[in-house]
Structure 1
Amino acid sequence: MRIAVLGQGAWGRTLASVLRQQGHELAVWSRSHGSDPAAVLQRQDLVLSAVAMAGVPALAQQLSAGWPGAVPLVSCSKGIDLQQHCTASQLWQQAIPSMACLVLSGPNLAAELDQGLPAASVLASIHTELASELQRQLSSQRLRLYTNADPIGTELAGALKNVMAVAAGICDGLGLGANAKASLLTRGLAEMGRLSQLLGGDPATLYGLAGLGDLLATANSPLSRNYRFGLHLAEGDSAAAAFTRIGATVEGPATAEAALVLAHRHALHLPICEQVVGLLQRRNTPQEAVRALMERDLRREWV
């Protein structure tokens, strides 16, 4: 296939490498190139967008007028837009309603794929036949693809697990132990599910690659920027200092803030997201956040 990859951060570069090794013909674009992104779209069979979430709204609008006919797009960005409070694929669809859009998400730490280690991911779309065709075209020995018909649930799971990865980094940074971390991630998964289901996601998606799979990878690996960000917060760094130490995009903090806006809009309580945002805004310390979670009112588990 002829494939354009928009975005050359760690994930965009890795995807391009995987696709090249499969024999696909690649055209790549990065904002740092200073070139016109529309130029790489011509004569393509498929476009993959792996730009950071903050760059999606402007890029989608920029490309909307000249989108090349029926060429589909696979959105690989993870997050929730802070201004419009929607996912990356929703931003693309708003800008280009006629375009077939798919979502790629799963436990895909770019550094491991770069080392040739195997991984799996999910290709989600309401266009099920297209998703199945691209599954066959894009799967390889390095990256095995599954499909589902729940793009919104897939995206929300992939976005919200970054918030839980920040919380997991805080938990490990404070040395709270395996029991506490298991409890945190289990309750975090429930929190992810409440918001996802409210916004139209399929609850089953949460227990697939984009939900539990991605959560296990990013909440337990120092290769995860969100996990490392949490470690730095636990050490007493401010959010600004933690961003500086990471030196790359960290989607979890902005996602936590956007998730809280959505939760408040629908009278939904997300205690872990609330404590993460409190830490980002310096309204509490890591120790106070843990105490607040442990002192919440007792209740049934599935609430």
Structure 2
Amino acid sequence: MNLTVLGAGAWGSALTGLARFNGCPVQAWSRHGELTLGAAIDRCDVLLSAISMGGVPETVRKIQALGLSPHTVIVSATKGLDAATLQTPSHIWHDAFPQNPIVVLSGPNLAKEIEDGLPGATVVASVQATAAQRVRDVFASDRFRVYTNADPLGTELGGTLKNVIAIAVGVCDGLKLGTNAKSALITRALPEVVRIGTHLGGQRDTFYGLSGLGDMLATCSSALSRNYQVGYGLAQGKTLHQVMENLQGTAEGVNTTNVLMRLAEREQISVPISAQVYRLLNGLVTPQDGVVALMDRELKPEWWADEAKD
């Protein structure tokens, strides 16, 4: 199969390397490269988008104008939420190309480790099983295990929402609050992610798999995570502008947090941890104030009968 990868950043480059390792013909496109978008998508069997969330709507519009074969499988490997529509990237692709099979690729995948040849695993999810299997065969190898499932929305939300939590964990480590605090934070963050994801239509089990819990553990436990670096930098007293200037790549969790709070308000979803991350990113609290606000919340049983509450 001929694969075209949109995006030449760390994630796009890592996925390009995995496909080439399997002998798959790959064309890599970026806005700053010499290859035109029209030439990149011409006769491709699989079109994989690894561009940042901010670039997805514009790229989709350009491909609509160029035209895309209805037989091309579209793979979304972007983790984020669109600020204009509050939609996930795969939803934007589906609205533009309703005839094309849509697959979501997400998992505990730190690009640097993949590029270094270290073993890893991911999930490819689609309501069309054959499309997911085709994409699985492009990337699966003895160093990269690929699972399939039929819940693309849950798979996508798991990879998106954990970026917000990674910022919070970065703050925890930056303040040197200890292993107990970090473990408690991650554990309490998981039901928050599940609550949001299932409310928006994802399947509960998905969030306990590779694209949910797995991705959260990877992103929250490695300084390779740009979202973790954001939280850590803020805890060190840097401004958000200073932190973002020094990042190599996009920390999608910053935009995701702002969009998530609009979604949570509209849908009346309880998101106490994400709310403190939002307040911190927008200069409404200090890192220390955010910790106090979470620790001073009303005491309650660990498990509620009404899982919409927390």
- The TM-score normalised by the length of structure 1 is 0.97
Partner SS, residue 33 of structure 1:
coil
Q: Distance in 1 between matches of 2:298 and 2:253?
A: 26
Aligned twin of 2:307: none
Question: Does 1:44 pair with 2:44?
Answer: yes
Aligned twin of 1:106: 107
Partner SS, residue 233 of structure 2:
helix
| CA displacement 1:25-70 (0-9 Å, x = unmatched) | 1111001226531221112111111000110011111112401231
Q: Which moved more, 1:65-74 or 1:231-240?
A: 65-74
Aligned twin of 2:211: 210
| CA displacement 1:148-195 (0-9 Å, x = unmatched) | 100001111100000111100000000101111111111111111111
Aligned twin of 1:167: 168
1:272 CA drift (Å): 1.0
Aligned twin of 2:33: 33
Q: Distance in 2 between matches of 1:81 and 1:225?
A: 19
Q: Distance in 2 between matches of 1:291 and 1:228?
A: 21
Aligned residues: 303
1:138 CA drift (Å): 2.6
Alignment check: 8 A CA contact 2:124 2:147 kept? yes
Moved over 6 A (4+): none
Aligned CA RMSD, in angstroms, stands at 1.1
Q: Distance in 2 between matches of 1:138 and 1:15?
A: 8
Question: Does 1:132 pair with 2:165?
Answer: no
User: Which amino acid counterpart does residue 81 of structure 2 have in structure 1?
Assistant: I
Q: Distance in 2 between matches of 1:299 and 1:185?
A: 18
Identity %: 45
Aligned twin of 1:265: 266
Alignment check: 8 A CA contact 1:46 1:71 kept? yes
Question: Does 1:75 pair with 2:60?
Answer: no
Q: Distance in 2 between matches of 1:259 and 1:137?
A: 32
Partner SS, residue 31 of structure 1:
coil
Alignment check: 8 A CA contact 1:75 1:89 kept? yes
Q: Distance in 2 between matches of 1:34 and 1:227?
A: 33
Partner SS, residue 301 of structure 2:
coil
Q: Which moved more, 1:60-69 or 1:146-155?
A: 60-69
- The TM-score normalised by the length of structure 2 is 0.95
Distance 1:137 1:29, change over 3 A: closer
Q: Distance in 2 between matches of 1:6 and 1:230?
A: 28
Q: Distance in 1 between matches of 2:273 and 2:32?
A: 35
Aligned twin of 1:301: 302
1:145 CA drift (Å): 0.3
Q: Which runs of 5+ in 2 are unaligned?
A: 304-309
User: Which amino acid counterpart does residue 135 of structure 2 have in structure 1?
Assistant: L
User: Which amino acid counterpart does residue 109 of structure 1 have in structure 2?
Assistant: L
Alignment check: 8 A CA contact 1:225 1:250 kept? yes
User: Which amino acid counterpart does residue 209 of structure 2 have in structure 1?
Assistant: G
User: Which amino acid counterpart does residue 111 of structure 1 have in structure 2?
Assistant: K
Alignment check: 8 A CA contact 1:238 1:280 kept? no
Q: Distance in 1 between matches of 2:10 and 2:189?
A: 26
User: Which amino acid counterpart does residue 163 of structure 2 have in structure 1?
Assistant: N
Q: Distance in 2 between matches of 1:239 and 1:137?
A: 38
1:137 CA drift (Å): 3.8
| CA displacement 1:88-134 (0-9 Å, x = unmatched) | 10011111111111000000101001111010000000001221233
Q: Distance in 2 between matches of 1:137 and 1:267?
A: 40
Alignment check: 8 A CA contact 2:19 2:138 kept? no
Distance 1:139 1:247, change over 3 A: closer
Aligned twin of 2:146: 145
1:197 CA drift (Å): 0.4
Aligned twin of 1:115: 116
User: Which amino acid counterpart does residue 43 of structure 2 have in structure 1?
Assistant: R
Q: Distance in 1 between matches of 2:153 and 2:111?
A: 23
Q: Distance in 2 between matches of 1:64 and 1:154?
A: 25
Q: Distance in 2 between matches of 1:108 and 1:159?
A: 13
User: Which amino acid counterpart does residue 81 of structure 1 have in structure 2?
Assistant: D
Aligned twin of 1:178: 179
Q: Distance in 2 between matches of 1:115 and 1:33?
A: 24
Q: Distance in 1 between matches of 2:39 and 2:133?
A: 28
User: Which amino acid counterpart does residue 50 of structure 2 have in structure 1?
Assistant: A
Aligned twin of 1:63: 63
